[in-house]
Amino acid sequence: MAQKIGFLLLPRFSMLSLMSALEPLRVANRYINDHYEWQFIGASNTAVTASNGIPVSVTAMSEVKDLDRLFVCASYAPQAGVTPSITQWLKHRGRTGAHIGALESGCHALAAADLLNNHNTALHWESQAAFQETYPHLKLSNNIFNDDGKRFTCAGGSACLDLVLHQITQDHNRNIADQVARCLIHQRQSEVGTGQDSLVMHTLQQKRLSPVIDAMAAHIEDPLDGPELAAIQKVSERTLQRQFKQAFGMPPRSCYLQMRLQRARQLLHESNLSVMQVGIACGFGSNENFCRQYKTMYGHPPSRDRKMDIGMAAYEALG
């Protein structure tokens, strides 16, 4: 009997994540006699537009019958697409016992439906801060994907391919999954438990500075000073300056500022915090300084990014 797979598409979902999850299923059907069937699902019958501008035809969720596995697909401004009707539909699906999960920031929809309680949530490192601000009671994982048999989450991008290869292994066997990977010219390097950090820090020089980078990431709201960072690395401030310039092409202070501003941009796009609240959450003592530094890095004030997201959400709500 065919396994029925659903992809619930939220506005501005990632086409890369969707295709990375879908193609392994298509290829798997070559080896296991069309075992997988899938359909794209939306809040209504209106096509859902991906972040790259391509519209995808969907079946209204009210018309969907039984599903064995459900992927919730989202990317930019995920909260804008989580409506009360979608939340209620997901809660109903959760009661059916289906294997439910999310690609990239689709976990916002699962969290709103209380489907991630007592489950570890894998999410793209760029989106983790906003998710934690909105759902502080949920446990985040830095893995590229998690799948405990009931719920699954994935950081997105090419990690979606590894998630589905893992699921094909669970549904059938490792040999089938390996055949699919070879057909897609994909070397399986990522299993459950693989962290995202190992995919971000490339050079040996950068990896040696990971304790300092980790400390910076953990202290965005209350930034550490130069002596504190040097103490973590057990070197002098001057030596730390040299190490950062060799590894990242900039001193630690500049690297730290970039991290804080990147976090601010993520919060503006993916949380409901005000501009001032975002500045405070990212360690800026004054709103004036925050706006000045943000404009220097991105070319426009933080209020523009917030208005862009509000405008896009309103446009998409009109359908």
Give the domain-ending residue among 145, 176, 197: 197
- Cβ-contact 20, 161 below 8 angstroms: yes
Other C-beta atoms lying within 10 Å of the C-beta of residue 272: 11
Same domain for 193 and 206, yes or no, is no
- The CATH number linked to 144 is 3.40.50.880
Residue type, 64: V
Same domain for 141 and 228, yes or no, is no
Same domain for 16 and 162, yes or no, is yes
Give the domain-ending residue among 172, 197, 222: 197
Q: So what's the pLDDT on residue 197? A: 61
Same domain for 67 and 118, yes or no, is yes
Give the domain-ending residue among 153, 179, 197: 197
- Please give the full DSSP string across 261-282, using - where no structure is assigned: HHHHHHHHHHS---HHHHHHHT
Same domain for 233 and 116, yes or no, is no
Same domain for 186 and 282, yes or no, is no
Q: Which two tokens stand for residue 232?
A: 């973590």
Domain count along the chain? 2
Give, for all 319 residues of the chain, the pLDDT tens digit.
Answer: 789 999 999 999 999 999 999 999 999 999 998 799 999 999 999 999 999 999 999 999 999 999 999 999 998 888 888 999 999 999 999 999 999 999 999 999 999 999 999 999 999 888 888 898 889 999 998 899 999 999 999 999 889 999 999 999 999 999 999 999 999 999 875 566 676 764 456 788 888 999 999 899 889 999 999 999 999 999 999 999 999 999 999 999 999 999 999 889 988 888 888 999 999 999 999 999 999 999 999 999 999 887 655 444 443 444 4
- The CATH number linked to 271 is 1.10.10.60
Range of the domain at 272: 201-317
Q: Kindly report the length of the chain.
A: 319
Same domain for 239 and 310, yes or no, is yes
**pTM across the whole model:** 0.78
Same domain for 151 and 20, yes or no, is yes
Q: So what's the pLDDT on residue 305? A: 84
Same domain for 128 and 247, yes or no, is no
Same domain for 145 and 226, yes or no, is no
DSSP, res 62: G
Same domain for 182 and 250, yes or no, is no
Residue type, 280: I
pLDDT digits (tens, 9 = 90+) for 139-171: 998 899 999 999 999 999 889 999 999 999 999
Strands 48-49 and 55-56 turn out to be: antiparallel
Same domain for 49 and 192, yes or no, is yes
Distance CA 11, CA 33 (A): 33
